[in-house]
Structure 1
C-alpha cells in the first residue's frame, strides 16, 4: 500500500501560500492559489464524506475549476459538477470514497489565462469522521456524482438483450422462409405428379 506523500497539515500549506503572496512581484497564479480545502492535504477522513471543497485566493470571473478524485488504485471516484460559491470556494458532491490514500486533482484558470493543474493526497479511514462541509457549501443544491459505472453496466446488459432479441428475430424469420419454400416445393412436386399420371 503506497504511503501518503503530502503536506501533513493545512498550516504548512497556508504558510507556503502566504510566503508566496508576500514575495515581491506576485505572479498571476498566486491569486488562484489554493488557500483551504476539505478534505485537505494529508487529512484523514471517513468514507462517508459527501462534499469536497476548495477555497482559492481569487478565481477568474466566469470560470469553474475542474475537480476529480481517484482512489488508492487510481480508479476515478464519482464527483459531481463543481459549483462556485461566493468567496472563491468550489463545492462538489462526492460519493464512494474507498479506504486508502485518495488523490484530489484540480485545474484552475489563472488571471493570465493559463490553466494550472495541481493535486494532493489525503487518507480515507473507516474509523475517521467525514470531512467537514465548509459553511459556504452548506445547504446548497450540488449536482450529484455521475453513475457511469452503473449506467454503463445497464447499457451493456441492454445491448446484450437487444442483440439477443434481434438474433432470435432473424433466426425465426429464416426458419419461416425455409418453411414456406419447402411447402411450395412440396406443392410443385405434387402438381407435377398429377400431370404425369393424367
Structure 2
C-alpha cells in the first residue's frame, strides 16, 4: 500500500530530525521513494504465477471498501528495524492484509507462516554489527501525527535488490499493478 506524496513529505520531515540523533550512523535509512506498507510479503514469485496473483489481488481489492488512514508514531522490531506506524482504519487494513495473504496462497505462492498483521512502514534497519538502541528514535516519533488520507487502492509491488557493491545502494520498489478498492 502506497501512502500519498503529502503523507510521505510529512513523514520525511520527521525522519530528517531523527537522522540528527546520536547513533544514527549505525542505521541504514530507507529511501522516501520506497516507503510503503507491506500487507503480504510474497518473497520470490515464479513469473507463471503472476497472472493468478494479479487476478486474486484484483478480487481482494474489489471486496474491500476504501478506508481512512494516517501515519502515526513509530516502533521497532528489537534492534533490527525502526518503523512508522499507522492509525485510523486499522481493522480495514488488517482485513485487506489478510485478503492479500489469502489471495497469494490461493494463487500458489508459498507464503511463510501466517502472523498477526502489524501495520508498519520501515524507516531504518540496523547496520551489520551495529547495536543501536532504537528507543530514543521511537520516543522522538511518539508525537508524530500525519494527516489522514483515504486508502483507495491496493498495489502489487516488486522489490528489486540494491546494486551489489555500490555503497549506500537501496532496494528499488516498482508497482507492477494497482487496483481500486471497492470496484
Which TM bucket (shorter chain)?
Answer: under 0.3
Normalising by structure 1, we get a TM-score of: 0.26
Normalising by structure 2, we get a TM-score of: 0.27
Query: Which structure's relative contact order is higher, taking Cα pairs within 8 Å and 6+ residues apart?
Result: 2
Q: Which has the larger radius of gyration?
A: 1
